[in-house]
Amino acid sequence: MSTIFDLRISVQPEHIDVLGHVNNVMYVQWMQDVAAAHIETLGLGLAQYLELKHAMVAVEHYVQYRKAALEGEEVILRTWLDDINALYSFRQYAFYREKDQSVLFLGKTKWACIEIATGRPKRMSPSFIQAYQPISTDLNPLDFSVLYEQV
């Protein structure tokens, strides 16, 4: 069973757009960053992808911007896996400001398993299926009073 994973970041000047808040494309980058950090802790990161000759790639994103993040603020990037089948895993995200627990961003990604050499869809190997299990239904990923910080 997978876990909820938190990554703490500090908003840097390069994250800010001309309107003075975090640029919307940064949130998509952060989705990638926190997903990559999470899979490393699950024991199935880039090195394992290359060894197994298949990988997960994003095929669909859903994003919802809720509130602006500003330079210097501490933000928690939270992610968890919520579903899986033979070809796809489904990951969710909630990015929030720690000081007031305000939700800044919600997102979802549908990830497909592919063969690295060809880019073609491939059924997930048992190691992928074992690592990418959804979180327990007992956990509430939107309960920000609990930190699952790993990095």
Q: Rounded mean pLDDT of 43-64?
A: 93
Cβ contact 132:2 at 8 Å: yes
pLDDT of residue 87: 87
- Predicted confidence band of residue 38 (pLDDT cuts 50, 70, 90): very high
Mean pLDDT of 72-90: 95
| SS3 (DSSP) at 46 | helix
Confidence of residue 45 (pLDDT cuts 50, 70, 90): confident
pLDDT given for residue 116 in this prediction: 96
From 62, 14, 57, select the one nearest 36 (Cα to Cα): 57
What residue has token string 């299926």?
A: 129
Encode pLDDT of 120-133 as tens digits.
999 998 988 998 99
Per DSSP (E only), the strands in the chain are: 5-10, 54-65, 74-84, 88-97, 102-115
Per-residue pLDDT band at 1 (split at 50, 70, 90): low
**What global pTM score does this model have?**
0.93
More confident residue, 74 or 87: 74
What average pLDDT does range 106-123 have in this prediction?
Answer: 96
Domain ranges of the chain: 20-132
DSSP-based three-state secondary structure for 41: helix
Q: Which helix (H) or strand (E) holds 93?
A: strand 88-97
Residue carrying the six token digits 């330079």: 71
| 83 membership: H or E segment, kind and range | strand 74-84
What's the pLDDT score for residue 151?
Answer: 54
| Averaged pLDDT for residues 39-55 | 91
**Mean local confidence (pLDDT), 81-88:** 92
20-132 falls under which CATH superfamily?
A: Hotdog Thioesterase (3.10.129.10)
Q: State the average pLDDT for the chain.
A: 93
Structure-block tokens of residue 132 = 């990418």
140-151, pLDDT tens digit by residue? 999 999 888 675
Give the Cα-Cα-Cα angle 105, 16, 76 (nearest 5 degrees): 40
Q: Tell me, what amino acid is at 117?
A: A
Cα 112 to Cα 46: distance, rounded to the nearest angstrom: 15
108: amino acid identity, one letter: K
